[in-house]
Amino acid sequence: MSTASFLSKEKMKQAATNLELSESEMLRMGEACVHAVVQHIVDLPDSPRSNLVNAVEISRSLREPPPENGTPFETLLLFLMEKVIPLSINSAHPTYMGYIPGGGLFPSALADLLSTATNRYVGAWFAAPAAARLETNVLEWFAQWMGYPTSARGITTTGGSLACLSAIVTARKHLLDEDISRGVLYASNQTHHSLMKSAMLAGISERNIRLLEVDRNFRGMPERFEDAIKADLAKGLKPFLLIGNAGTTNTGAIDPLVALAEISRKYSLWYHIDGAYGGFFNLCEEGKRKLQGIAQSDSIVLDPHKGLFVPYGCGSLLVKEGELLRRAHMLTADYMQDQFTPEGEINFTDHSPELSRSFRGLKVWLPLKLFGVQAFRENLAEKLHLAQWLYQRFLEEPGFECLAVPDLSVVAFRYRPKRGNIDEFNRRMLKHINESGRLFLSSTLLNGEFVIRACVLSFRTHQAEVEEAFEVVKAAVREVEI
């Protein structure tokens, strides 16, 4: 019996609900959305830096069954702008200095609209050659900025975590192949936890991950790396990967990149640099001086949603010998036989775990073309200077101490109260600051001690905002000490 016989003629004549909007509807919705976003950005200076009051109750109240019928767009937009987006840490605010801010450039948001609305597939070159070339341009620019040769290849990812995973898989394939049980990697104990997670996902046993002691400024110590490598070789293990930090999350510390490169070469290890936060500082002269040795790495992770200020969801990986990246990720299938790629172009699917993917590179390409690289260079240099200014002010202010000299734009500090527990006081002070809505900072532990972090990275953060942050912190001391 045919399928059609199950359906009446009347049913077959009925059209499904039309999901295509009319021109006027698209314009109306688009204009309403852009207007709401622009107003949100205009109002940023006067908005709370964080708003998590009754967060659990509100979050639970938003649970709902799937909607059987539609709701007008204007109603949904109002709901999002009034009930959803405000209930958050305001990471777009000029005085958001917690974690690693980026800010979220408006032209990148427009790029996301363009890429998702036109819905071009850039994973395979033949499907969207021009779009794939634009994204390749972006990655080639990154490689040039890092001092990599033309043999380098790269991918964009959702963030540094997936970029790290591909880097470790590439190193594993090249140096261990199928014999991964003896493979050992080395990193300082200040390395971002996503690298350890990536290593475990790549099949590296936790017992083969060496997190090594750092110096008083939380930078890796080359002698500790070499001692650990020698010890593992004596045990019959296979050292294969050494990770250097171009700006740690905790303090922004930069490991001695040149010395680590020399150790990697001496023992034939893959040298990977985590530059997710700090790598793009190589664009400005002061940053380049601090990041000497970055070009000696075999691979590097860079997060445009940090150092290039684009919205969340954009990381990247560069591999100096791009063919090694391809070999670690390349597979084929019968249904992909129609693909073709001319010499000099790449299929991102051959260099990445992803097959389905968005046109991510556009959110980087558009602001770079719109503003020019010099604008980003100036902004990055400004953040270094602002962090130094804040560091000096804390050193000069009685009662405050900084736990490390900032290499980049993170200032780790705390206040020593006249009485009581130091950690407890600083916990209360941070809570007071963040609940005030005037500033948002975050915390970490350094040598087991509670420390407050101020990270200056948003393109919206300038001298006035850093001065305001300093005054808010000083006021918090007085208010909490009472």
Q: Is pTM beyond 0.85 here?
A: yes
Counts of helices then strands in the chain (DSSP H, E): 17, 11
Identify whether the C-beta of residue 192 lies closer than 8 Å to the C-beta of residue 247.
no
Strand partners, 400: 415
* CA–CA distance, 376 with 281 (Å, rounded to integer): 10
For the chain (482 residues), the mean pLDDT of every run of 10, in chain order, is 58 79 98 98 91 88 95 98 92 94 93 97 94 98 99 97 97 93 97 95 96 97 98 98 98 99 99 98 98 99 98 97 96 82 90 94 98 98 98 98 97 96 98 94 97 98 98 96 74
Domains by residue range for the chain, with CATH? 110-371 (3.40.640.10), 374-481 (3.90.1150.170)
Per DSSP bridges, beta strands 238-245 and 183-188 are parallel
Residue 245, beta-bridge partner list: 274
Q: Are 234 and 269 in contact (CB under 8 A)?
A: no
The answer to whether 466 and 458 have CB atoms below 8 angstroms apart is no
Give the integer Cα–Cα distance in Å for 317 and 360.
Answer: 13
Instruction: Round the average pLDDT of the chain to a whole number and report it.
Output: 95
Please, what is the angle between helix 463-481 and helix 422-436, to 10°? 120
Handedness of CA 176, 180, 182, 184 (dihedral sign): positive
Which tokens sit at 326? 């391809």
Distance CA 64, CA 59 (A): 11
Find, among 461, 476, 401, the residue nearest to 94 by Cα: 461
* Alpha carbon separation from 136 to 143, 316, 385, 450 (Å, rounded): 10, 12, 32, 43
DSSP 459: T
Q: Would residue 25 be called left, alpha or beta, if left means φ above 0 and alpha means ψ between -120 and 50 degrees? A: alpha
174 phi and psi, to 5 degrees?
A: -70, -40
Whether 274 contacts 301, CB under 8 Å: yes
Contacts of 225 (CB under 8 A, 6+ apart): 186, 212, 242, 260, 263
pLDDT score of 292? 98
CA distances from 174 to 180, 248, 288, 323 (A): 11, 27, 29, 10
